[in-house]
Chains A and B, each alone.
Chain A
């Protein structure tokens, strides 16, 4: 598959969304929590508590919606600042109770709108990056569809970042890149190639730790194995001291783009 085909697959309307992953992995144990306690509840982000086997965890996902009605309600998975602030509120709560945090990332980007700018989209994302870096509880982020720029990174400052095999993660949409650099958005396929956005590319660049095989809706065995992988990663990181955990997380990002000297 070319990078552009992967991009199309990542955006496929029939692809499983965060809600599906939560339902298949945590079933009835999931309790949704709402609101940022400051402005409103952003439905582009679904968040709550769930049981991962015997361990309570905090789950946060960017939700695109599975049909037209849901997509409109979820703002097509484009979060506002209050969405990122809700996520941070629940991460801070997770830290208090020493619950691991699992994030599902699936967004074309943070919402570009007047209200979003008025309420500090940049500030909200920046605060998440800063606070997540030293959050004293394990964080694991999985890109399940599109990882669109800062709006995705705001839920992906984690101990490990994984990607589904048909997902992408990029600094800018290939369409946006092509239209800015080459004044021609139809050159998106070339931009997709050049930007190195596929799971394999990111793995090769050392930006992600694992490529996960995409589960199908009814494939309980696949979800079971994903649960097991997640659980093992949390166990490993729960065994670390807070200092070790945050030092590892810092080093994980610190080494990216370090020139050889």
Chain B
């Protein structure tokens, strides 16, 4: 008997693929490799663990829908402005195709906004969507976030914004840049009304989103090991002509430099948000 027979995969499925006899057959989405500790994880295990590696606590990226599901109390999320869609306003070459491709993910825009309950507390929630051009901020993104702030201001609601973004969407040129001012203005009005704004920075949060509403929360939280910065690392390296330190622009780095309030693990996130809402006098009105 072959001494190493125990090493052979027991999976019979291997031989069903005649063309690639030597390649073990692994159903594509069944396993996922943790990029941090290289452990092969059962995708379902990872997903049930809030998309966090069961071994090393690496936080995988979640898309917008998954986040809404994780945060909002069951069946309480009422989406707003879901019909708003980006168009190629500047006739930018290649942008139509890019939008079409982004929509294949099932997301219509780089942010999902709506009202919901979190721990029984009424709250406005905006979640940027990694599935849609990695949360790139175009005019519709800015418009939806602005409307969310205006709705929260009008209805005296606290607002929680989850950021993920590569920055302003260059295919919409200067109009994207202006969304930074527009969203900041709406955030300021919400703030001036004495209402609570919490931002949760998730990987990656960069560019124009960092330089606007991401950094404007009363309370700024971040997930562990999240890239947060204004300038891109490649641009910085090209400018200063040296390698960047390993933890540069990570959430732990920003915490140390004094730019965020806390790094919170995903498993603690909802809890923490509920606590913070309660500390600001928002309560579970419909509980009795």
Encoded as 1 (CB less than 8 Å from any B CB) or 0, chain A from 96 to 129 comes to 0000000000000011111011111111011101
In contact, B173 and A157 (Cβ under 8 angstroms)? no
In contact, B184 and A259 (Cβ under 8 angstroms)? no
Chain A hits for B180, CB < 8 A: 129, 150, 153
Q: Residue A238 at the B interface, CB < 8 A?
A: no
In contact, A153 and B210 (Cβ under 8 angstroms)? no
Q: Residue B231 at the A interface, CB < 8 A?
A: yes
For B175, the closest partner residue in chain A by CB is A257
Shortest C-beta distance, A95 to chain B (Å), equals 14
Q: Residue A236 at the B interface, CB < 8 A?
A: no
Q: Residue A221 at the B interface, CB < 8 A?
A: no
Chain B hits for A176, CB < 8 A: 235
Q: Residue A202 at the B interface, CB < 8 A?
A: yes
Q: When chains A and B are docked, how far (Å) is the Cα of A202 from the Cα of B177? A: 12
In contact, B214 and A120 (Cβ under 8 angstroms)? no
Shortest C-beta distance, B82 to chain A (Å), equals 13
For B179, the closest partner residue in chain A by CB is A257
For A208, the closest partner residue in chain B by CB is B174
Q: Residue A258 at the B interface, CB < 8 A?
A: yes
In contact, A126 and B177 (Cβ under 8 angstroms)? no
- The B196-248 residues at the A interface (CB cut-off 8 A) are 207-208, 210-216, 228-232, 235-236, 239-240, 244-245, 248
In contact, B143 and A122 (Cβ under 8 angstroms)? no
Q: Residue A149 at the B interface, CB < 8 A?
A: yes
Q: When chains A and B are docked, how far (Å) is the Cα of A202 from the Cα of B175? A: 9
Prevailing SS type, chain B contact patch: helix
Within the complex, which residue of A126, A134, A180, A249 is in contact with B213, where a contact is CB–CB below 8 Å? A126
Within the complex, which residue of A122, A171, A254, A257 is in contact with B230, where a contact is CB–CB below 8 Å? A122
How many residues of chain A have a CB within 8 Å of chain B? 52
Given contacts A121-B230, A126-B213, A130-B188, contact A256 B139 (CB under 8 A): yes
Chain B hits for A149, CB < 8 A: 168, 177, 208
Listed stretches A11-19, A66-74, A191-199; interface member? A191-199
In contact, B170 and A171 (Cβ under 8 angstroms)? yes
Chain A hits for B84, CB < 8 A: 259, 261
Shortest C-beta distance, B69 to chain A (Å), equals 27
Q: Residue A170 at the B interface, CB < 8 A?
A: yes
Q: When chains A and B are docked, how far (Å) is the Cα of A127 from the Cα of B188? A: 10
In contact, B215 and A123 (Cβ under 8 angstroms)? yes
In contact, B259 and A253 (Cβ under 8 angstroms)? no
In contact, A181 and B139 (Cβ under 8 angstroms)? no
In contact, B257 and A130 (Cβ under 8 angstroms)? no
Given contacts A110-B230, A130-B187, A257-B140, contact A196 B173 (CB under 8 A): yes
Q: Residue A205 at the B interface, CB < 8 A?
A: yes
Q: Residue B178 at the A interface, CB < 8 A?
A: yes
Most buried by B among A181, A196, A205, A253: A253
Q: Residue A172 at the B interface, CB < 8 A?
A: yes
Shortest C-beta distance, B234 to chain A (Å), equals 10
Listed stretches B14-22, B90-98, B99-107; interface member? B90-98
- The A135-173 residues at the B interface (CB cut-off 8 A) are 149-150, 153-154, 157, 169-172
In contact, B181 and A121 (Cβ under 8 angstroms)? no
Chain A hits for B173, CB < 8 A: 170-171, 194-197
In contact, A120 and B94 (Cβ under 8 angstroms)? no
Q: Residue B189 at the A interface, CB < 8 A?
A: yes
Q: Residue B142 at the A interface, CB < 8 A?
A: yes
In contact, A112 and B232 (Cβ under 8 angstroms)? yes
Q: Residue A250 at the B interface, CB < 8 A?
A: yes
Q: When chains A and B are docked, how far (Å) is the Cα of A54 from the Cα of B188? A: 33
Encoded as 1 (CB less than 8 Å from any B CB) or 0, chain A from 170 to 211 comes to 111000110011000000001000111100011001010000
Give the interface of B toward A (CB within 8 A).
84, 89-90, 92-94, 138-140, 142-143, 146, 168-182, 184-189, 191-192, 207-208, 210-216, 228-232, 235-236, 239-240, 244-245, 248-249, 257-259
Give the interface of A toward B (CB within 8 A).
110-114, 116-123, 125-127, 129-131, 133-134, 149-150, 153-154, 157, 169-172, 176-177, 180-181, 190, 194-197, 201-202, 205, 207, 249-250, 253-254, 256-259, 261
In the A-B complex, the 6 residue pairs with the closest CB atoms: A257-B139, A112-B231, A122-B210, A122-B230, A129-B184, A125-B211
13 contacts across the A-B interface (CB closer than 8 A): A112-B230, A114-B240, A116-B231, A119-B257, A126-B214, A129-B180, A129-B212, A131-B188, A170-B173, A170-B174, A171-B168, A181-B171, A258-B143
